[in-house]
């Protein structure tokens, strides 16, 4: 499989290493310094694209790939207000678009458990839910895309929580997310349910970026011969609606 990497920073290099280990090739690695190379990319020389650039470049990169008929996997955050436009463009061009805020298999199981627990805990409003996320000091966006996905999972299943805010809060209708940036922390996410009696915590800690990189390449392999808009639930075949809750 021939992979185009859009954004060749720390993660981009990790994607390349995993791709080569899995016997793929990386004919194009595009950053802001050589973005004119994207004009040379076609469906005849690339099988799939991986977009992990920055919020300012993501939309145009995705649009170009879809218009060229190249399946594209994206994990860039900070541009998601325009995600519906990309999804509509994908449908218009019979393309393939795969988005996830986090491609780690473990994190996506965490997303699933988060929704499952939120659905159960919605019956017990004495437990107030809050969140904390910790990342390395270089991470620009707050809250993280992973934290936003977790927050959305809570809001979907706990009806009395109206919205999330990026700070601690005592308002019972808000879901507070505390974001911390600490040097050399790969990524930690904590969802807490606290009552006056006790607390329940669901936590994921990433030790390295390896799982993230491997999950991204697996998603690209899975997407290459498909059409439509997809996410990690499709890849992992996990669906909360198929889970029997006692």
Which of 61, 72, 75, 154 has the alpha carbon at shortest distance from 110? 154
> Distance between CA 94 and CA 223 in Å, rounded?
13
Across 60-69, b (16+ Cβ under 10 Å) vs e yields ebbbbbbebe
What burial class does residue 174 get, using C-beta atoms within 10 Å of its C-beta: 0-12 exposed, 13-18 middle, 19+ buried? middle
**List 135, 161, 189, 204, catalytic entry:** 135
Whether 139 is a known active-site residue: answer yes
**List 91, 93, 139, 226, catalytic entry:** 139
> Distance between CA 25 and CA 2 in Å, rounded?
5
Note whether 72 and 28 are within 8 A (CB): no
Q: What are phi and psi of 50, to 5 degrees?
A: -120, 120
Q: Is residue 2 within a helix (H) or strand (E), and if so which, with residue range?
A: strand 2-6
Note whether 185 and 134 are within 8 A (CB): yes
Enumerate the active-site residues.
135, 139
């Amino acid at each position: 499989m021939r992979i185009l990497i859009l954004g060749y920073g720390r993660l981009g290099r990790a994607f390349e290493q995993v791709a080569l280990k899995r016997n793929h090739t990386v004919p194009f690695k595009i950053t802001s310094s050589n973005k004119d190379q994207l004009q040379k990319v076609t469906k005849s020389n690339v099988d799939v694209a991986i977009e992990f650039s920055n919020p300012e470049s993501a939309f145009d990169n995705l649009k170009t790939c879809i218009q060229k008929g190249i399946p594209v996997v994206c994990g860039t955050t900070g541009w998601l207000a325009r995600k519906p436009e990309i999804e509509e463009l994908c449908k218009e061009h019979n393309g393939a678009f795969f988005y996830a805020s986090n491609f780690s298999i473990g994190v996506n199981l965490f997303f699933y458990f988060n929704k499952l627990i939120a659905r159960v805990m919605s019956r017990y409003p004495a437990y107030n839910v809050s969140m904390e996320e910790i990342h390395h000091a270089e991470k620009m966006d707050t809250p993280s895309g992973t934290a936003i996905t977790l927050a959305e999972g809570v809001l979907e299943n706990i009806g009395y929580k109206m919205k999330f805010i990026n700070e601690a809060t005592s308002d019972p209708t808000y879901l507070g997310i505390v974001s911390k940036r600490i040097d050399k922390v790969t990524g930690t996410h904590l969802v807490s349910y606290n009552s006056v009696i006790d607390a329940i915590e669901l936590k994921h800690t990433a030790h390295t970026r390896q799982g993230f990189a491997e999950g991204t390449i697996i998603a690209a392999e899975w997407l290459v011969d498909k059409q439509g808009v997809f996410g990690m639930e499709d890849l992992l075949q996990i669906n909360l609606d198929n889970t029997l809750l006692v």
